[in-house]
Amino acid sequence: DLYIEYMKVLTPQIEGLFGAKNVGATASGNTKDSALKQVTVRETNISNSLAALMKANSQSPVSTLFLLQVANFVPAVKDNMATYYDVLSGAAKTGPFADYISKTISTASIGNIGTVLPDFKQNDVNGKSVSLASFRGKYVLIDFWASWCGPCRAENPNVVKTYADFKNQNFTVLGISLDDDRDAWLQAIKDDKLTWTHVSELKRWESPIANLYKIEGIPANFLLNPEGKIIAKNLRGEQLKMFLTANLK
């Protein structure tokens, strides 16, 4: 019954939203502008209707289901998922829909400047387990790269020079490779003279750590302070040197 109630309220609004989106996608000029304004208005109306329904039915898993569904096509709901979810309680926070939303919320901020990267353990070149937490107390550049990545190999000399300049100032590098060929990985480390700690799962883009940290392209890096917080991202070449010069304490 509650599912039907949700559908009666939201279905006409959702149909109107997609209608406005379709017009906006094919129209031009004033018609397109008008359609895009309608999209914004209709998304706001859907968000408000959803919030009211969830408040009135805060313990029902039906509310959880509709939160998940609406978040798929209303950006404001997706971006404020935690706020909507906080309204729910009891049975609404159990089951697969709630589990999925909880996981989405908990991982949403990973990789943002000012946050602490989740710890991980990976094996180094000698098969020894290395944890990110073991680098606490130092400034550390988490460097995602691979032997097969041309831009990564081109950037490596800059990282080598920066490491040499700052390694005695409480700075180090942790290389995380997205290789899947161990021999190629080790040869690249040797050829490029990368003398810092290196780890890899040898799973290429199937790397759980790369996926957790939302790495979508390489080279990519995070600069962490001694407390493990991200203070900069994707610094390359002179940018990295200048940032370290200004911020290392």
What's at 180, amino acid-wise?
D
At residue 169, the pLDDT reads 93
What's at 150, amino acid-wise?
G
At residue 175, the pLDDT reads 97
At residue 180, the pLDDT reads 96
CB 43, CB 10: distance < 8 Å: no
pTM over cut 0.75: no
At residue 28, the pLDDT reads 81
Q: Is 215 helix (H, G, I), strand (E, B) or coil?
A: coil
| Entry field: residues in the chain | 249
User: What is 10-73 written as a DSSP string?
Assistant: HHHHHHHHHHHHHHHHH--HHHHHHHHHHHHHHHHHHHHHHHHHHHHTTT-HHHHHHHHHHHTT
Q: How many C-alpha atoms does 112 have within 13 Å on its Cβ side?
A: 7
Both structure tokens of 35 = 């359609």
At residue 21, the pLDDT reads 86
Both structure tokens of 155 = 């950037």
The Cα 186–Cα 151 span in angstroms is: 18
The CA-based dihedral angle spanning residues 98, 92, 105, 45, taken in that order and rounded to the nearest 10 degrees: 120
Residue whose tokens read 């180090």: 172
The Cα 182–Cα 186 span in angstroms is: 6
Cα-flanking dihedrals φ and ψ of residue 58, to 5°? -70, -15
Can you give the pLDDT of all 249 residues of the chain as single tens digits? 999 999 999 999 999 999 888 887 787 888 888 888 889 999 999 999 999 999 999 999 999 999 999 999 998 998 889 899 999 999 999 999 999 999 888 777 788 899 998 899 999 999 999 999 999 999 999 999 999 999 999 999 999 999 999 999 999 999 999 999 999 999 999 999 999 999 999 999 999 999 889 898 999 999 999 999 999 999 988 899 999 999 887
Cα-flanking dihedrals φ and ψ of residue 231, to 5°? -115, -10
Both structure tokens of 29 = 């000029």
The Cα 134–Cα 234 span in angstroms is: 22
Q: Distance of alpha carbon 207 from its chain centroid, rounded?
A: 14
